[in-house]
Chains A and B, each alone.
Chain A
Amino acid sequence: MKRSRLAIAVAVAILLLGSGAVQGQQTPIKIGIVYSFSGAGGTAGKEFNDIVALFQKQHGDTIAGRKVQIIERDDGGIAPDNAKRLAQELIVEQHVDLLAGLIFTPNAMAVGTVSTQAKMPTFIVNATTSGIMAKNPYMSRYSMTATQVTIPLAKYAYKSGMRNMYVIFMDYGPGIDSGTTFENTFKGEGGTIAGEIRVPVTAEDFSAYLQRVKDAKPDGVYIFLNASGSGTTFLKQAKTAGLDKAGIKIFCSGDLLTEQVLPAIGDAAIGVISTMNYSGTHNSKMNRDFVKAFEAQSGGMPPTFGGVGVYDAFQAMYKVIAAQNGQVDPDKTMALVKQLKFESPRGPIAIDPDTRDIVQNVYIRRTELKNGQLVNTEIDTYPMFKDPTEHP
């Protein structure tokens, strides 16, 4: 008798606990992701998943008692219609609370219209063209703009003694933006432009361009090329063509020299000056821990600026969800986004309340060989630099 009473008591206790757990369990907070997991962004997809896994290992997968559910959709590369359709599906069918992702500008623009109509806070992790934010009041950006990193490089080039520079850039939207920004800033500092070449997207052999640069005898050359292809080819051919022996310094955007691409370039990368919002060797405790933890997560692959953008977008989302105690309201979320200011592996970052765009240190780096490994060493910093072309 006694035993059966005990058994009933235990059973009741279990039932009560169980129902209590059911009562405490709320619907999950859903974060919709539109990102390029396949196509040109193939390796970015792996890095994205590694970053999210690492982030949730460090920060948990519940906020204010609610589980965070991440729903991923693959836009497959530059495909604005696709990205837009996926964003609509996430909002209408999956009832997501927040959207994040977006590597390519055309995709970000297309998702922007959906985000505005649905009042859906959207956290951009890459898409670096200026002007996306002004049209889309529910978007905020955690990467950079090409203009934001190009202006400091042009200023640094002049400061470091360059007076006459050649400019080579790929003949498409971002290339033209970056090339002309460099030219205008450099001329504004007092320098002159020795020449300009707009390289067709299909260019494979740069020997003729390199000879043209050598003929012009400039102090240096600024290049903006495709990070996954022509940039590497250019730097290797520049080394063989003897640009360094001719005393012509190479300046470029840091996406040509990410920690993942450097081995393909090899010695030809040594001495190149680049500009970026992140370097794997950034000297802070947070970054050292971040690099170590990420490499353990990814199986030895180092993190890049792309991964840091994803990490910081998640930092931002977790912060604004926690501040609302797990209840996500679009307008409250945006008000909180505008006050964001926190530490990233890249250094301190903040969201500009007027433009919802990122404000961060821009680092000038020199590629060096250290302990047998190619690294980007920070040699100058433009602190808390804002893209001056962005306006509310």
Chain B
Amino acid sequence: MILGNLLYIIFSGVAYGVLLFLMSAGLAVTQGLMRFANLAHAAFAMLGGYLAVTLMNSYGWPFLLTLPIAALGTALFAGTLERLLFRRFYNVSQLYQIMLTVGIVSMSVASVTFIWGSVNQPVRMPSYLSGSIQVGNFDIDVYRLFLIVAGGLVVWALIWGIDSTSFGAKVRAAVDNRRVTSSCGINVDRLFMTAFFIGSALAGLGGALSVNLVGLSPTFALDFLAYVLIVVTLGGHGSMKGALVAALLLGVVDVAGKYYVPQTGPFIIYALTVVVLFWRPHGLFAKA
């Protein structure tokens, strides 16, 4: 029974962690590349969610088909924003970057309320992704199972892309030393643009996948901002593996904390953050 509880908590927590990873992975990489404090990343995830919901509810698209469109649409929107706005702020102090991107978060909340209203968006999953499987005393949520499998595939593709492709090698080089990389003839600006595009697509995908689990309303961007920042900080800027470990850790600790010591509220994940940062001030996987 006790072991069963623990396994169930880990299962739920890992599924939640996968979502957090998808929403934060892009930020970890772009943050590492440009040291650009993009707090609007959670707003991109929210946009992905609204795109998916609108395609399903207004156009009758099947859920799985909305996912690539949510990712692509979000990436196009975020990419445009990056070209028009963000790139002008790469060389100013982080305070300005934070002011800019927090402003964008506020505008996104207001815009989404204006277009879609403030109520939670209705979403109905296809029957093969809803319900649960009874295993012993536990109801294993089919959707969480799907999240773990689908998220696992994305994680594998990402890590393979960073470790084994020439694009990945360039990204790793630029994270380590941008000046030397660009003096080797690598166009870091273009590299960054591509990484930003992929990262935003992941956020959009994460947003679309999270609707069924955590719901979608205009405060989504604000609700997940803290989680996304914790994942990036714990993982270490620029580290995909760091973000993965941090997201899974955060997911499991959050669920376990709620289960075993619910009276501590959100304290437990902040305590985790503080402890990890005491031990590794630059994050779990940061280069010294």
Contact = CB atoms under 8 A, between A and B. Distances in A.
A75 to B, nearest CB: 15
A342 interface: no
A40 B118 contact: yes
B97 to A, nearest CB: 24
Given A204-B214, A229-B217, A242 B139 contact: yes
A228 B119 contact: yes
Contact of A240 (B9, B110, B143, B256): B143
B259 A212 contact: yes
Contacts of A260: 119
Contact of B219 (A229, A242, A263): A229
Given A207-B141, A240-B130, A240-B141, A228 B118 contact: yes
A43 interface: yes
A200 B215 CA distance: 16
B93 interface: no
B123 interface: yes
Given A208-B9, A237-B213, A245-B139, 16 more contacts: A42-B113, A205-B254, A207-B144, A207-B255, A208-B12, A208-B256, A208-B257, A209-B259, A211-B9, A229-B217, A233-B120, A242-B134, A261-B120, A264-B119, A264-B122, A264-B215
Contact of A232 (B120, B218, B255): B120
Contacts of B256: 208
B214 to A, nearest CB: 4
B262 A197 contact: yes
Interface in B88-122: 110, 113-114, 117-122
B8 interface: yes
A240 B118 contact: no
Contacts of B212: 236
Contacts of B138: 211
B226 interface: yes
A241 interface: yes
Interface string A168-208: 00010000000000000000000000000111101111011
A82 to B, nearest CB: 16
Interface residues of A, number: 38
A339 interface: no
B259 A208 contact: yes
Nearest to A260: B119
Given A207-B141, A211-B5, A240-B132, A41 B12 contact: no
Contacts of B134: 242
Contacts of A56: none
A204 B259 contact: no
B124 interface: yes
Contacts of B122: 263-266
B265 interface: yes
Contacts of B110: 38
B120 A41 contact: no
Given A38-B113, A228-B217, A266 B124 contact: yes
Interface string A204-224: 110111011001000000000
B277 to A, nearest CB: 20
A207 B13 CA distance: 9
Among A43, A207, A230, A263, chain B packs the most CB atoms within 10 A around the CB of A207
A30 B184 CA distance: 73
B215 A236 contact: yes
Among A40, A43, A230, A264, chain B packs the most CB atoms within 10 A around the CB of A264
Given A202-B223, A205-B254, A240-B131, A264 B213 contact: no
A38 B110 CA distance: 8
A206 to B, nearest CB: 8
B170 interface: no
B16 interface: yes
A211 B8 contact: yes
B152 interface: no
B255 A205 contact: yes
A270 to B, nearest CB: 14
A8 B255 CA distance: 89
A205 B57 CA distance: 24
B213 A43 contact: no
A224 B119 CA distance: 17
B258 A208 contact: yes
A209 B223 CA distance: 19
A229 B120 contact: yes
B263 interface: yes
B266 interface: yes
A264 B123 contact: yes
A171 B110 CA distance: 26
9 contacts: A198-B265, A202-B226, A204-B214, A205-B16, A205-B254, A228-B119, A242-B134, A261-B119, A261-B120
Contact of B139 (A42, A228, A240): A240
A209 B258 contact: yes
B124 A200 contact: no
A200 B265 contact: yes
Contacts of A38: 110, 113
Contacts of A265: 122
A41 B262 contact: no
Given A233-B214, A240-B132, A240-B139, A209 B117 contact: no
Nearest to A246: B139
Contact of A229 (B131, B215, B266): B215
Contacts of A207: 12, 16, 141, 144, 255
A381 B100 CA distance: 53
Contacts of A232: 120, 215
